[in-house]
Amino acid sequence: MLRKVGYFSVETPHTAGQGLRILAALRKAGIDLLAYSGFPDGRQAKLVFVPAQPGRFAVVARKLKLKLSPKKIAFLLEGNDKVGALTSTLGKLAKAKINVTALTAVVAGKKRFGAIFWVKPINVAKAAKLLRAK
């Protein structure tokens, strides 16, 4: 299954426990995340949240006084894990000359995998149509 998902980023001090503090507050508020990533960005850390309900996430994040980026679009791919699981999707994008700007994939156990990837905003609609993303 491939779908478009909304995501937000937050910059926070790059110190121990900052991600946990935010994740714990989101958990307490009942926010379900489809994906989450954190990485250093200069002297800060950037946290990327892919919520199941972007509107509700944004409301809760504002209450927590998080400075959110505007909502952007990524693609979430879920499927059966097999050798070369990503090649079909990436091949279609490459053939259409759509560059993937970032991608993270993991196995999820029980022969399942998941991946999240990004294309430039100008290519989101074209990629969604090409890949029949929901």
Q: Rounded CA gap, 73 and 104, in Å? A: 15
Query: What is the structure's pLDDT at 128?
Result: 98
For the chain, the structural domain boundaries read: 2-71, 73-131
Query: What is the structure's pLDDT at 109?
Result: 85
In tens, the pLDDT along 16-40 reads 999 999 999 999 999 999 999 999 9
Instruction: Write the DSSP assignment of 44-88 as a string of letters.
Output: EEEEEEEESSHHHHHHHHHHTT--BPPPEEEEEEEEE--TTTTHH
Percentage of the residues of the chain whose pLDDT score is greater than 90: 95
Q: What is the pTM of this model?
A: 0.90
Class of the CATH domain delimited by 2-71? alpha beta
> How are beta strands 100-109 and 2-13 bridged, if at all?
unpaired
Q: Is 90 exceeded by the pLDDT of residue 88?
A: yes
- Asked if residue 131 lies in contact with residue 93, where contact means CB atoms within 8 angstroms, the answer is yes
In tens, the pLDDT along 31-77 reads 999 999 999 988 899 999 999 999 999 999 999 999 999 999 999 99
Q: Is 90 exceeded by the pLDDT of residue 108?
A: no
Q: Rounded CA gap, 14 and 78, in Å? A: 31
Distance of CA 46 to the CA centre of its chain: 13
Supply the angle between the helices 54-63 and 18-28 in degrees, to the nearest 10.
Answer: 120
Class of the CATH domain delimited by 73-131? alpha beta
